[in-house]
Structure 1
Amino acid sequence: MNEAMKTPSEARAASGGKNAWVLAVTSGKGGVGKTFVSANLAAGLAKRGHRVLVLDADLGLANLDVVLNLFPKITLHDVFTGKAQLEEAILVAPGGFSVLLAGSGLVEYSRLTPEVRDKFQAVLATLVPRYDYVVLDTGAGISDVVLYAVSLADEVLVVATPEPTSMTDAYATIKVLATQQRRRTLRLVVNQVAKPGDGKIIAQQLQNVVDRFVSTPQGESVRLSLLGDIPSDPSVREAVQRRQLLLESLPGSAAARAIQAVAARVDTPDERG
């Protein structure tokens, strides 16, 4: 097989496990803080001494540049169209990690075509030997583009909030990933909790529904692994409005400490699903 067309898991196996661990951060519903989690999780992993890249996999509706206050002259769109080399599109973000940003408002990337699929896979396969972690900040929902990006990951992290609509959409996402991608373990971060421990309650409620109604095509059960919860914290709004990383601007805040704890769990092999 052409090296550039291997999936990250195949490339990782061929390298003896030396390639990046690819983590897709996704959500059923928009507005739950998925990109916020992706960026600050990357900063947390970088603080632990890792080479980290965040790939903006929300093709067509990208907003990672806004969160990081970056103004890219070259994006993933330019790489896809051959106007620029991949190396030219990779930027260093605040927080000590790298980013590959997508263009915004690009209708041609709102649906999965063979061309988009092959180019995305080729870019990702080129990146994985260079980093310890590649974080895919996907779009929300279960569109073909989102599901394809998630399918390339070694591990999936679902972001949800305690709101009923978020939980319902998180369940729908979990069900699709279990039935279509045969995911037996999914990681979960519960954002915007009112008090410590709420994440465990939300995770257990979701697990109870999953146990009743979801299994893989082989009939295997699906396990949700809670990485942690992030409190509803005024510091988050302040950082977002300033277009700053929370871990950089307010590292001592409750939400920042919670994200650092999530990064530590992601970085613990025994914790991986």
Structure 2
Amino acid sequence: MNDALSHAYPSPASPAPGVAPAPGAGDRAFAEGVALATPGARIMAVTSGKGGVGKTFVSANLAAALTRRGHRVLVLDADLGLANLDVVLNLHPKITLHDVFTGKAQLEDAVIQAPGGFSVVLAGSGMVEYSRLTPTVRNEFLNVIQTLAPRYDVVLLDTGAGISDVVLFSVSLASEVLIVATPEPTSLTDAYAAIKVLATQQKRQQMRLVVNQTRRPGDGRAITGQLQQVLDRFVTTDTGRPVRLIHMGDIPTDTAVRDAIMRRQLLMLQMPGCPAALAIAQLAAKIDTALLERKSG
């Protein structure tokens, strides 16, 4: 694993792959996002540097686990152009965010109940007009968050992958960021790139990491430590302090995960005792203790 990881990070002389300063939108968005994150629910963005790492799977099952712990949970599909939360949950919504944004439906009608007892707002897939952060998309999305957040204890924003302006804006609305990565070198490279952009553009002092599809106990903690070393060396915020990366847990490789995905069922409902489901339950417990109990207290 160490040999593979040695190729996943940039050398001191080369920038992180894919990291290019966005045209100022991230800073402005974050300034608004901080104001939104204070009242109402605790807002957490679940994001990733690379697609295909299980981000939406984690979002949906984490929502079920947090609901089981007694919280009112909303999952908002913030991948506006390539939404797939409906596929993971086997839902067939009549109304999506596209209908709300175009004035064809009311926001309240777009909130539906998902298996697992939490609420979801789904986005239409394949909508090219939502692949860029236009003023309309920006304002409509802000309105959705402002309207719905006060009704819940926690809102999970299932963002797109990468560092596009739409993804950065979605993340900017959250007070907490959970990065999902796998042990694959490409996933770690892109996770580092995303963390770097969020630290420099949004002035994030800390972010949280969950490592999916681990093969051995302790892999995720070791990966987090190695990422932290690279961040300590190459990334600092305006305060001059390094970004803190908090290891939130590992989700082991588990055949039950593929089975649940193929059946389009929540793992937490289908096989709650399997290793991956138990790991997600532990992740929910950590989030509950670190964020939600602190907020209520």
Report what 1:248 is aligned to: 269
Alpha-carbon distance, 1:202 to partner? 0.7
Alpha-carbon distance, 1:11 to partner? 4.8
Matched, 1:210 2:231: yes
Residue type of the alignment partner of 1:10:
A
Matched, 1:142 2:167: no
Report what 1:70 is aligned to: 91
**Structure 1 unmatched ranges of 5 or more:** 1-5
Alpha-carbon distance, 1:115 to partner? 1.0
- Looking at structure 1, the residues matched to 105 and 95 of structure 2 have their Cα atoms a distance apart, in angstroms, of 7
2:203 equivalent among 182, 207, 216: 182
Residues 219-269 of structure 1 deviation map (CA, whole Å, 9 limit, x = unaligned) = 221000011000000000000000000000000000000000000111113
Residue type of the alignment partner of 2:100:
V
Report what 2:285 is aligned to: 264
After TM superposition, the score normalised by the length of structure 2 is 0.86
**Structure 2 unmatched ranges of 5 or more:** 1-30
User: Closer, same or farther in 2 for the Cα pair 1:187/1:112, shift >3 Å?
Assistant: same
Report what 2:61 is aligned to: 40
Instruction: Judge conservation of contact 2:34–2:172 (CA < 8 Å) in 1.
Output: no
Give me the identity figure in percent.
Answer: 69
- Looking at structure 1, the residues matched to 34 and 246 of structure 2 have their Cα atoms a distance apart, in angstroms, of 21
Report what 1:123 is aligned to: 144
Alpha-carbon distance, 1:12 to partner? 5.4
Residue type of the alignment partner of 1:22:
I
Alignment of 1:1-273 (within 5 A): 7=32, 9-11=34-36, 13=38, 15=39, 19-269=40-290
Secondary structure of 2:233 counterpart: helix
- Looking at structure 1, the residues matched to 162 and 37 of structure 2 have their Cα atoms a distance apart, in angstroms, of 27
Residues 119-154 of structure 1 deviation map (CA, whole Å, 9 limit, x = unaligned) = 101110101110000000000000000000000001
Instruction: Judge conservation of contact 1:53–1:97 (CA < 8 Å) in 2.
Output: yes
- Looking at structure 2, the residues matched to 7 and 47 of structure 1 have their Cα atoms a distance apart, in angstroms, of 31
Give the number of equivalent residue pairs: 263
After TM superposition, the score normalised by the length of structure 1 is 0.94
- Looking at structure 1, the residues matched to 242 and 43 of structure 2 have their Cα atoms a distance apart, in angstroms, of 23
Instruction: Judge conservation of contact 2:33–2:172 (CA < 8 Å) in 1.
Output: no
